[in-house]
């Protein structure tokens, strides 16, 4: 049974249909690649670089990006980040000026530079993702992992490469066989160098130039490797950033390897093949631009008071407050996890849920794999948590093991708070973090207007009625919580923030008075690729309950944090623009203009959470190492059940 991501399949079917009906005769730079979801890199680049640089678009994009950064909670922190995060230190305004003053040959080059600068902040909440270029991902058939064999860790080609590649739609393997490249013999090979470098040095380089997303270098190293995750409710295998690259122009990679069973090294050069993971069909450069790059419905926000266009937020069954989300960008390369590696234990509970629940054969350990905090609805997530805890309690397990591996979606902040609250018991009290938002002048004006217009919480993120004071009482409807702004010195720069706020979360099920399991002995484990609401949840368990946290993988001898992407709340461009329009402030001189390129996803960390152990420090910038750290082995690297079994045996 083949299983790939629904989106991949849809694009694939759409493209196959196109092959049948295509009558293209003139071969312009984009017509060359219009008939297939796969494209050799030189052909793809010929298409993507066929759009000339346009100064008008640069000014438009940079205005939107720089005025979005006005709302970024972390700008002044980035001037001098604390250890161990110092390598991401960036002067954001200086970079924006540099990009404003640089000469570019093509639109691609301009967007690539902007993408690269924001990506290298290593904050997955904050990204420039122009649809025109990020619908492609460049793939290799040989993802890599770091494995311990006979007590020594080395880099290997994934041993399941053949089964994995077999799940990729038609056209991928054929590309390599037509070139006479026998990549399949490399499955499980020991990698002795990549691009002439020590393999781990090359992995460090990819972690610093490609991965983005995670502030901690060690966590980014794990992102370079292939690993398992849950995509929706299905097991999936990530290519990892070595073998799956976004917005990349790298054409090939040269490795020396020792294939399984051989004693001698050999050198191989493997070309990337690009796959279109989204976007719309096209026939030539003009239709590529029109369908994938130009502005359209949904490029910008809406005035939510007029009610026509729904904002980008999820629709819920009841009209309720807008959802505060802490979300990463999950990879589009949703290829299934080979069936032989999927858990064989019976699934307890709802197998369509984002949670997977098992008891291990020892009958003492219950496992909950949390794929995301974003279920079909909030009440469904909460009901699934209750069902999971109840089924494990009735099975008589005494230990809980929560697997957060590659929880890259994160999700609804209140669901992270709910899950923590359910595990901690209602006697524990408020189960979220204290947070704050940027108090720039436009934010102050938005709150003033929202108060004057008595905007309800289902139309805007900014009204005071969205929040609680830190003593748990609701803000008064007319209290402008950003106006007597609190100025703090951050890296010697005066920066303004709102008062500290707590989340107001609807719970649809009763919370038990006391914890259902002994929390100190609950073992959480992950590979550090835990984004946003996932990081918030794990940090709360660690900071408030000393719950043991184990992390797998990484580079031997290099520390790895357990929380990957630990901002608090993300706001995407369309939502920020909607806030401004709904407050009636689009004409304000401080407001960003409408964006003139389509679906270019500017997103930023809009709200920060502060550590319970040091209330001056955002959790994002507080180093917290896991208590336990293990390497992957050939038995565990891609086999969730084997990892749980390994982790359930007390060391």
Ligand X SMILES: *[C@@H]1O[C@H](CO)[C@@H](O)[C@H](O)[C@H]1NC(C)=O
Residues that bind ligand X (CB under 6 A): 54, 56-57, 59, 62-63, 66, 100, 149-150, 251-252, 269, 271, 361-363, 469, 471, 473, 544-546, 596
**How much helix, strand and coil, in percent to the nearest 5, is found in the chain?**
35, 20, 45
What torsion do the CA atoms of 544, 548, 554, 560 make, to the nearest 10 degrees?
A: 30
Nearer to ligand X (CB atom), residue 469 or residue 601 = 469
Pull the structure tokens for residue 85: 């995060």
CB half-sphere exposure, 512, CA atoms < 13 A: 14
Nearer to ligand X (CB atom), residue 338 or residue 598 = 598
Q: What's 220-267 look like in SS3?
A: HHHHHCCEEEEECCEEEEECCCCCEEECCCCCEEEEEEECCCCCCCEE
Q: How far is the CB of 546 from ligand X (least distance, A)?
A: 4
Q: How far is the CB of 364 from ligand X (least distance, A)?
A: 8
Nearer to ligand X (CB atom), residue 91 or residue 310 = 91
Nearer to ligand X (CB atom), residue 407 or residue 540 = 540
Q: How far is the CB of 300 from ligand X (least distance, A)?
A: 14
Residue 94: exposure state from Cβ atoms within 10 A (0-12, 13-18, ≥19): exposed
CA pair distance 597, 130, nearest whole angstrom: 8
Nearer to ligand X (CB atom), residue 428 or residue 601 = 428
Nearer to ligand X (CB atom), residue 63 or residue 233 = 63
Q: How far is the CB of 585 from ligand X (least distance, A)?
A: 19
Q: How far is the CB of 305 from ligand X (least distance, A)?
A: 29
Asked whether 236 and 336 are in contact (CB, 8 A), the reply is yes
CA pair distance 189, 261, nearest whole angstrom: 9
Nearer to ligand X (CB atom), residue 40 or residue 584 = 40
CA pair distance 195, 605, nearest whole angstrom: 35
Q: In sequence order, what are the residues at sequence separation of 6 or more whose Cβ sits closer than 8 angstroms to the Cβ of residue 587?
A: none
Report phi then psi at 602, rounded to 5.
-85, 130
Nearer to ligand X (CB atom), residue 150 or residue 315 = 150
Q: How far is the CB of 328 from ligand X (least distance, A)?
A: 27
Report phi then psi at 278, rounded to 5.
-175, -155
CA pair distance 291, 384, nearest whole angstrom: 39
Q: How far is the CB of 330 from ligand X (least distance, A)?
A: 29
Q: How far is the CB of 463 from ligand X (least distance, A)?
A: 17
Helices and strands in the chain: count of H runs, count of E runs: 17, 28
Pull the structure tokens for residue 115: 């993408």
Exposure pattern of 569-606 as b/e (b: 16+ CB <10 Å)?
bbbbbbbbbbbbbbbbbbeeeebbeebbbbbbebbbbb
What torsion do the CA atoms of 38, 43, 48, 51 make, to the nearest 10 degrees?
A: -140
Nearer to ligand X (CB atom), residue 352 or residue 441 = 441
Q: How far is the CB of 645 from ligand X (least distance, A)?
A: 12
Q: How far is the CB of 86 from ligand X (least distance, A)?
A: 27
Nearer to ligand X (CB atom), residue 478 or residue 546 = 546
Q: How far is the CB of 68 from ligand X (least distance, A)?
A: 12
Nearer to ligand X (CB atom), residue 1 or residue 649 = 649
Question: What DSSP designation does 284 have?
Answer: S
User: Is the bond preceding residue 84 a cis peptide, omega within 30 degrees?
Assistant: yes
Q: How far is the CB of 628 from ligand X (least distance, A)?
A: 15
Nearer to ligand X (CB atom), residue 405 or residue 548 = 548
472: left (phi over 0), alpha (psi -120 to 50) or beta: left
Stretch (H or E) spanning 325: strand 325-326
Nearer to ligand X (CB atom), residue 428 or residue 507 = 428
- Give the residue among 551, 545, 549, 550 at the shortest CA–CA distance from 519: 545
- Give the residue among 411, 383, 275 at the shortest CA–CA distance from 334: 275
Q: How far is the CB of 634 from ligand X (least distance, A)?
A: 10
Instruction: Report the 10 Å Cβ neighbour count for 317.
Output: 10
């Amino acid at each position: 049974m083949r299983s790939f991501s629904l989106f991949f399949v849809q694009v694939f079917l759409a493209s196959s249909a196109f092959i049948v009906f295509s009558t293209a005769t003139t071969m312009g730079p984009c017509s060359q690649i219009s008939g297939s979801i796969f494209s050799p890199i030189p052909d793809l680049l010929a298409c993507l670089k066929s759009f000339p640089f346009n100064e008008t678009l640069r000014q438009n994009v940079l205005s939107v990006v720089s005025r979005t950064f006005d709302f970024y909670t972390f700008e002044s922190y980035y001037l001098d980040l604390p250890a161990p995060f110092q390598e991401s230190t960036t002067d954001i305004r200086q970079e924006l000026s540099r990009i404003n003053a640089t000469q570019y040959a093509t639109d691609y080059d301009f967007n690539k530079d902007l993408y690269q600068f924001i990506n290298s902040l290593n904050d997955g909440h904050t990204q420039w993702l122009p649809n025109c270029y990020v619908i492609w991902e460049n793939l290799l058939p040989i993802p890599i992992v770091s494995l311990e064999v006979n007590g020594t860790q080395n880099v290997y080609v994934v041993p399941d490469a053949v089964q994995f590649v077999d799940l990729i739609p038609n056209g991928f393997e054929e590309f390599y066989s037509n070139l006479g490249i026998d990549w399949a013999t490399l499955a499980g090979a020991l990698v002795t160098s990549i691009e002439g470098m020590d393999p781990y040095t090359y992995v460090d380089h990819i972690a610093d130039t490609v991965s983005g997303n995670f502030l901690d270098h060690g966590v980014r190293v794990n992102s370079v490797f292939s690993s398992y995750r849950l995509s929706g409710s299905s097991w999936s295998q990530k290519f990892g950033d070595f073998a799956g690259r976004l917005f990349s122009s790298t054409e090939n990679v040269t490795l020396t390897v020792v294939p399984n069973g051989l004693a001698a090294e050999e050198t191989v050069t493997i070309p990337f093949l690009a796959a279109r993971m989204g976007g719309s069909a096209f026939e030539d450069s003009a239709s590529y631009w029109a369908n994938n790059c130009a502005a359209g419905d949904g490029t910008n926000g809406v005035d939510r008071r007029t009610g026509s266009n729904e904002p980008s937020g999820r629709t819920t069954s009841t009209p309720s407050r807008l959802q505060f989300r802490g979300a990463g960008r999950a990879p589009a390369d949703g290829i299934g996890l080979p069936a032989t590696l999927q858990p064989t234990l019976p699934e307890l509970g709802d197998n369509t849920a984002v949670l997977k629940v098992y008891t291990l054969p020892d009958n003492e350990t219950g496992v909950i794999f949390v794929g995301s905090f974003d279920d079909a609805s909030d009440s469904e997530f909460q009901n699934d948590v209750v069902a999971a805890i109840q089924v494990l309690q009735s099975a008589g397990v005494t230990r809980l093991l929560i697997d957060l591996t590659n929880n890259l979606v994160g999700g609804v902040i209140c669901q992270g708070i709910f899950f923590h609250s359910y595990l901690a018991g209602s006697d524990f009290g408020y189960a979220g973090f204290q947070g704050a938002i940027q108090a720039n002048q436009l934010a102050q004006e938005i709150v003033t207007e929202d108060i004057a217009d008595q905007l309800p919480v289902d139309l805007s993120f900014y009204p005071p009625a969205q929040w609680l004071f830190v003593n748990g009482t609701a803000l008064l409807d007319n209290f402008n919580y950003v106006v007597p702004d609190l100025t703090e010195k951050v890296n010697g720069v005066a920066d303004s923030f709102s008062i500290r706020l707590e989340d107001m979360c609807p719970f649809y099920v009763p919370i038990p008075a006391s914890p259902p399991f002994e929390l100190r002995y609950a073992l959480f484990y992950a590979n550090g690729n835990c984004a946003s609401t996932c990081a918030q949840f794990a940090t709360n368990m660690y900071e408030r309950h000393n719950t043991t946290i184990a992390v797998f993988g990484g580079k031997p001898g290099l520390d790895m944090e357990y929380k990957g992407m630990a901002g608090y709340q993300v706001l995407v461009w369309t939502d920020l623009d909607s806030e401004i329009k709904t407050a009636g402030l689009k004409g304000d001189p401080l407001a960003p203009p409408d964006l003139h390129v389509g679906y270019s996803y500017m997103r930023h960390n809009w709200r920060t959470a502060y550590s319970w152990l040091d209330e001056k420090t955002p959790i994002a910038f507080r180093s917290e190492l896991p208590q336990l750290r293990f390497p992957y082995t050939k038995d565990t690297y891609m086999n969730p059940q084997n990892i749980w079994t390994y982790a359930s045996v007390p060391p």
